[in-house]
Structure formats: C-alpha cells, structure tokens
Amino acid sequence: MKLTDSVLRSFRVAKVFRENSDKINCFDFSPNGETVISSSDDDSIVLYDCQEGKYYSLLVLA
C-alpha cells in the first residue's frame, strides 16, 4: 500500500493506551509487530500487546 495523503487521512485511532502519564519520548514496534514499547517523561517503560489491545508490563524507573 502506498501511503498517499488520502490514505493517511482515512486512518482512524483504533486504541488509546493510557498507562504513560506524561509525554511519550520513544515508541517502537517489535519486529513481528505484536508488541510495542514506550518510554515517557513519567520515568516509565511500558510494553503493550498490539493483538489484545492491553499492556503487558509497566516498569517505573525511580
């Protein structure tokens, strides 16, 4: 699929994850696309399950 302007405009939010309570600094998918990891200004790292739409684990760096 070519990501044209009209294709991008047709995208809709499928899921909002709220485990990070501050600005997200980094967000990356696993090679198989099933897991996402995020880090944020709240000093947390969160692993999300993309298939189930929920988070696996929350690590708070204190």
The Cβ of residue 20 has, within 10 Å, a number of other Cβ atoms equal to 19
Tokens read off for 35: 């897991």
d(CA 40, CA 44): 6
Q: What is the DSSP letter of 11?
A: -
Q: What is the full per-residue pLDDT of the chain (62 aa) written as tens digits?
A: 788 999 999 999 888 888 888 999 999 999 999 999 999 999 999 999 988 888 888 888 87
CA of residue 29 relative to chain centroid, distance: 8
- One-letter amino acid for residue 1 of the chain: M
